[in-house]
Amino acid sequence: MSSHDTCTAFERERLIASGPLPDVVRVAKHALDTGTIGPLLIFDDRSSRQLEVDFRGTTAEVLARLTPDTPDVEPSSRSRGRPRLGVVPREVTLMPRHWDWLGQQPGGASAVIRRLVEHALRNSGAKERAAQSTESVDRFMRVMAGDLAGYEEASRAFYRGDRLSFAELIDAWPQDVRAHLKQLAAIAWDERADAD
């Protein structure tokens, strides 16, 4: 389980909570304990990926299990790097000529790789955000509306950027699903406009 900025929980088609993960989990746990008829799904607001939560035990026990992801690093190597700065050691595999070039650069291989990654993030950030927000809409719509009337047409309207047709096609969908989807779609369309 990774730490997420915000997420949203649905009990069937009804939104029951939105906000930081611990707050949403508290509401979801209460719903489960009081006999929700489910299914109960929690989505990361940025990616619309479903979050898996182990709801066994008390609310305190459930919340205690919500720990940030730790990287796949051997325990013996966790002390390397600069953990206080958030530096995480990972293996990098390169061709010998790449290592030769990195070895000739000022600051060493790690500094050069960090600069290259930062440069790539700055230069391709808008396109990546647009792609991620588009995938988020698609993912949420597939899970929550894939069986609803007009799904295929609404999906095509979304990808075309036809806001009016999209709104008309999803108008008969459950209110909370429709509202959340409109919010995700607006973000995706804005991100696409920024990337162009």
For 31, the domain range is 7-64
Alpha helices in the chain (DSSP H): 21-33, 59-64, 96-103, 108-145, 151-160, 163-169, 175-195
Indicate whether 100 and 142 sit together in one domain. yes
Same domain, 41 and 124: no
Please list the pLDDT of the chain residue by residue as tens digits (196 residues).
444 589 999 999 999 999 999 999 999 999 999 988 778 999 999 999 999 999 999 999 999 998 654 344 344 444 455 555 566 667 778 888 888 888 888 887 888 888 888 877 666 677 888 899 999 999 999 999 999 999 999 999 999 999 999 999 999 999 999 999 999 999 999 988 887 7
Confidence (pTM): 0.70
* Same domain as 96, residue 189: yes
Residue entry with tokens 């709801």: 55
Q: Are residues 113 and 165 in the same domain?
A: yes
Q: Is 146 contained in some domain?
A: yes
Both 26 and 99 in one domain: the answer is: no
* Number of compact structural domains in the chain: 2
Q: Is there a single domain that holds both residue 24 and residue 101?
A: no
109 and 191 belong to one structural domain: yes
Q: Tell whether 110 and 161 lie within a shared domain.
A: yes
Whether 2 is covered by a domain: the verdict is no
Domain co-membership, 49 together with 127: no
